[in-house]
Structure 1
Amino acid sequence: MLEQLKEMMKESGAHLEGHFLLTSGNHSSDYMQCALLLRFPRYAAFAGEALAEKIAKYSPDIIASPALGGLIIGHETAKALDVPFIFCERQDGAMTLRRFPFPEGKRVVVIEDVVTTGVSSGEVGAVLAAGGAEWVGTGAVIDRSGGKSSLPSAPESLWKVDFPLWKPGECPLCARGIPLVKPGSRPKIS
């Protein structure tokens, strides 16, 4: 399965190499742009089915994701498990559940495309738990947290990657003058 996923990431252009500013503020030479993978329905279905197999042990009643990155993979995972799918989105900077009733008393697994720090997935899990759901696990296509996410437990993932990360003042790519790019769902460099 991992080799198939790696090939799909390569074919879709989802594994980028260069000089990237991550949402965490760190810099990296590699970026996983899962939107490029998930734009192909066949690849999205493959990843959703594979994630569903990994999280089935949690017996989720519902799958939830952060918008925007988790929408496609969350839906595909829910489809493979034949359970409902909901998503949270930012409103005035805070993650909220706006379009759906709270899944009070339901077992929820949060699904994301890429976990780096775990902040977005953690915010979704916390919002749903505060509304009475039981946040039982987290899953992602890519786990690039290196075991250091802010999540209460390690996410289930299809591919654990450990690309180097640098603080801006320590980045060798900055020192070499390689232009910095901010890909992903929050493209503004501040």
Structure 2
Amino acid sequence: MVLDILRKTEALLEGHFLLSSGKHSNKYIQCAKVLQYPEESEKILSKVANQLTDLEIDIVLGPAMGGVIVAYELGRQLGKKAIFTEREKENDTVVLRRGFEIKKGEKVLISEDVITTGKSALEAIELVENMGGEVVGIACIADRSKGKLRYPVYSAVELDIDSYESDQCPLCKKGIPYVKPGSRKKFKG
């Protein structure tokens, strides 16, 4: 069901993509495409919310941008407060603004659209832990992390999408130009 919705909303893209890690891939998940449809978002994220019913959660925290709508929808379905981080341009760190706070001991679920390396989630985790909160897991629409994170990941779908170092990319070797669809400006490589 999840893959059907991702394809129908054109959130699952095929082609040649430059990822924020600097690697290349033949597929890309653009969750913003599915998140523009509230009814489809509700269906997909209900699969995640169902996995969280026994988990003690005080706050759902979404890193901006990808995690904001996901946090809101999971918070709505779980009946929990949903907040988000923002990135400070001056020093490229994540912060809470708008009066959002995490109190010592509060249990926080990090939410994301797609988890690959977990960079945004890990930045949010550091913020939560520095404020005295306890991270109970990471929730996402699509999990591409292949189990590499030290926190439990709750996802609507796990995807095993090939990625390549730029100098080993078979798509580059075929002369197929890449596109960079992500939101991060800086990337490794």
TM-score range, shorter chain: over 0.9
1:96-151 deviation per Cα after TM superposition (whole angstroms, max 9, x unaligned): 11221223321100010000001101110110111011111111110011223xx3
Q: Contact 1:48–1:74 at 8 Å: present in 2 too?
A: no
**Structure 1 residues 132, 188: closer, same or farther in 2, change over 3 A?**
closer
- The match for 1:97 is 96
Residues of 2 paired with 1:163 and 1:45: CA distance?
Answer: 24
- The match for 2:183 is 185
Deviates more, 1:73-82 or 1:54-63: 54-63
Shift of 1:187: 5.6
Question: Counterparts of 1:78-157 in structure 2 under 5 Å?
Answer: 78-91=75-88, 92-99=91-98, 100-148=100-148, 151-157=149-155
Q: Contact 1:63–1:108 at 8 Å: present in 2 too?
A: yes
Residues of 1 paired with 2:141 and 2:56: CA distance?
Answer: 19
- The match for 1:50 is 47
Q: For residue 147 of structure 2, what is the amino acid of its counterpart?
A: G
Q: For residue 166 of structure 1, what is the amino acid of its counterpart?
A: Y
Aligned length: 185
Q: Contact 1:111–1:138 at 8 Å: present in 2 too?
A: yes
Q: For residue 17 of structure 1, what is the amino acid of its counterpart?
A: E
Q: In structure 1, list runs of 5 or more residues that go unmatched.
A: none
Q: Contact 2:62–2:85 at 8 Å: present in 1 too?
A: yes
Q: In structure 2, list runs of 5 or more residues that go unmatched.
A: none
Deviates more, 1:44-53 or 1:161-170: 44-53
Residues of 1 paired with 2:54 and 2:32: CA distance?
Answer: 27
Q: Contact 2:59–2:81 at 8 Å: present in 1 too?
A: yes
Q: Contact 1:95–1:127 at 8 Å: present in 2 too?
A: yes
SS in 2 for 1:98: coil
- The match for 1:13 is 10
Compute the RMSD of aligned alpha carbons.
1.5
Q: TM-score, normalised by structure 1?
A: 0.92
Residues of 2 paired with 1:103 and 1:113: CA distance?
Answer: 25
1:12-65 deviation per Cα after TM superposition (whole angstroms, max 9, x unaligned): 000000001111111100001111011001011112322111123321111001
Q: TM-score, normalised by structure 2?
A: 0.92
Q: For residue 146 of structure 2, what is the amino acid of its counterpart?
A: G
Residues of 1 paired with 2:52 and 2:22: CA distance?
Answer: 30
Q: For residue 111 of structure 2, what is the amino acid of its counterpart?
A: I
SS in 2 for 1:29: strand
